A and B are shown apart, each in its own frame.
Chain A
Amino acid sequence: MRFSRKNLGIPYAVFLLLFVVAPLIVIVIYAFTNGQGQFTLENLTGFFTDPNTLGTLFYSLAIAFVTTVVCLLLAYPIAYILAMSELRTKSVIIMVFVLPMWINFSLRITALKEVLTLIEGNLARYPFTNAVVGITYDFLPFMILPIYTTLSKLDGALREAAMDLGADDLHTFLQVTLPLSVPGIVSGVSMVFLPAMTNYVVLDMLYNSTYIMGSLIGSYFSAYNWHGGSMIALILLAIICLFTLLTTEPGEENERGGALL
């Protein structure tokens, strides 16, 4: 057989079929069957009629929403100040801001937990706040980096043009810089919002015992209930798809991976 560069992709294509496509198919099958292997909609209707699981869904959405907004409000000024600054060392400073990304998250949350315990005394008193602070602490770099990247690629001439045409600083920001930085915001939001709905270890470690969507999968997993767990996974997948469709412009390639590099 003649060597062709196309064929180099075969192992990866097979790998994707085995470990990406096949697990998804299995999840769908398990979500719509019961322990006897019969087709059922019970897992689906069960989720949407049980006040507990619905509560979990709304609690996750609330945590994710608040965390994303907090991250955005904290990260945008950092990215903006650094991207607009004339400092020669700004690439080093941005590195300092995102460096914690490379420290194991469980150890960072341990550190945060000790400090919060010192400040609050009893962590159990502020479960919602702690969850928001914890996830923000964990994911802030993932919000800073894409916004910084987008802002530092902006053509300064556009801002100068706005100024020349009589816009003040505020209007230049609101009508030129901010709209142009939307792609960075979108990719930052997508990197914070979904983990905030699912990363239940952060809540666990900070003694917030309320379930979020991820914890439901964890509890079904511990109970060997593959069918219930699969349905939650499927619902999460649906939310993720919806989110991706909303945040990806048609024809635009998702740069989430690229933003990390």
Chain B
Amino acid sequence: MVKILKRAYLIIMLLFIYLPILILAVYSFTSATQIGAIRGFSLQNYVTLFTTPELTDMIRGTLLLALGSAAIATVLGTLGAIGAFYSGKRVSTLIGSLNQVPVVNADVVTGFSICILLVVVFHISKDTFIPLVAGHVTLCAPFVFLSVMPKIKQMDSSIYEAALDLGATPLTALFEIVIPQIVPGIVSGFALAITLSLDDYFISTYTKPAMFDTISTYVVNATKGSQTTIKTALWALSTVIFAVVVLIVIGMNVRALQKEGGSHAKE
């Protein structure tokens, strides 16, 4: 009985989480302009999504921004974590606490304060994309730092010492010994940076050029407008993103299972 209740609860919660997305997915394949209306099958939304320059530019822009900011954030955050780990206790605590600021801070405040500093005080035009990229890197780098740091702490430091004893230069030892050991942290930091950048609204809205839109800023503006073709094309976008996320998660799980299987085989 309890078991059934537990199952039922999980299922109800899954429905709450997924029903809106799934309903939107179903309607994205019809010509309906409103949920609840019954219309025939149509791929028009997908055609609009992939052929309207405004939409494709916005998607490409969002992806480029996410990849670029995540790459910069990953390099900065990783080097920062290595540097902080090998610094004295005071420096390392200081970097660690400053790193925590954007993490706990509200995104509105982060975005607004970077806009004030760069645009209002230093008169850097938003059209240069410098405020936007700086904002996104500020959002992402701390999370890279946080995901790399535990890996550095777990690292076996004697291997690095051994490499130096065997004649490797510190720089070679860094690339050949340290970096490979912390790759899992770097990769998950990079992935996290990409998702944070893709999901961001507030930092973008305060720092982006007027003619540039990310998915979030575009969707928020589009929902205020009344253009139904765009509105329903965004249902298609939601469905595409949902499908991509599901595929990635399945892919990750399959890989994790294979790894598990592999390690069992070795035992």
Interfacial residues, chain A to chain B (CB-CB below 8 A): 3-13, 15-16, 19-24, 26-27, 30, 74, 77-78, 81-82, 85, 92-93, 95-97, 99-108, 110-115, 117-118, 137, 140, 190, 194-195, 197-201, 204-205, 214, 217-218, 221, 226, 229-230, 233, 236-237, 240, 244, 254, 256-258, 260-261
A27 and B113 in contact (CB under 8 A), knowing A99-B249, A108-B21, A226-B120? Answer: yes
Is there a chain A Cβ closer than 8 Å to B56's Cβ? no
CB < 8 Å: which of A21, A74, A137, A199 contacts B98? A21
Q: With the chains together, A112 CA to B248 CA distance in Å?
A: 23
Chain B hits for A114, CB < 8 A: 20, 23-24, 27, 34-35
**A95-B223 in contact (CB<8A):** no
Chain B hits for A6, CB < 8 A: 83, 86-87, 91
A236 and B21 in contact (CB under 8 A), knowing A6-B83, A9-B84, A261-B147? Answer: no
A117, chain B: closest CB distance, angstroms:
7
**B199-A204 in contact (CB<8A):** no
Chain B hits for A16, CB < 8 A: 80, 95, 98-99
**A254-B108 in contact (CB<8A):** no
B217, chain A: closest CB distance, angstroms:
8
Chain A hits for B113, CB < 8 A: 23-24, 26-27, 230, 233
**B23-A115 in contact (CB<8A):** yes
**B116-A27 in contact (CB<8A):** yes
**A9-B201 in contact (CB<8A):** no
**B83-A96 in contact (CB<8A):** no
Is there a chain A Cβ closer than 8 Å to B163's Cβ? no
Is there a chain A Cβ closer than 8 Å to B43's Cβ? no
Chain B hits for A15, CB < 8 A: 76, 80, 137-138, 141
Chain A hits for B180, CB < 8 A: none
**A81-B95 in contact (CB<8A):** no
Chain A hits for B150, CB < 8 A: 258
Q: With the chains together, A223 CA to B6 CA distance in Å?
A: 51
A195 and B106 in contact (CB under 8 A), knowing A23-B113, A26-B113? Answer: yes
B141, chain A: closest CB distance, angstroms:
7
Q: Show 17 residue pairs from A and B whose CB-CB distance is below 8 angstroms, ordered by the A residue.
A: A6-B86, A13-B83, A15-B138, A19-B114, A23-B110, A27-B116, A78-B9, A95-B249, A104-B241, A106-B223, A108-B20, A108-B238, A190-B104, A204-B224, A240-B104, A254-B100, A257-B147
Closest 7 CB pairs of A and B: A9-B83, A12-B80, A257-B146, A23-B113, A111-B20, A106-B219, A107-B238
Q: With the chains together, A54 CA to B142 CA distance in Å?
A: 33
Task: Return the CB mask of B23-39 against A: 1 if under 8 Å, else 0.
Answer: 11001000000111000
B247, chain A: closest CB distance, angstroms:
11
Is there a chain A Cβ closer than 8 Å to B112's Cβ? yes
Chain B hits for A113, CB < 8 A: 223
Q: With the chains together, A77 CA to B80 CA distance in Å?
A: 39
Task: Return the CB mask of B82-119 against A: 1 if under 8 Å, else 0.
Answer: 11101100010001001111111111111011111100
CB < 8 Å: which of A4, A7, A12, A237 contacts B77? A12
Beyond contacts A27-B109, A103-B241, A104-B216: 17 other A-B pairs, Cβ-Cβ < 8 A, are: A3-B171, A6-B87, A8-B80, A12-B76, A12-B80, A15-B76, A85-B6, A93-B10, A101-B195, A106-B216, A111-B238, A137-B16, A198-B109, A217-B112, A221-B112, A230-B113, A260-B192
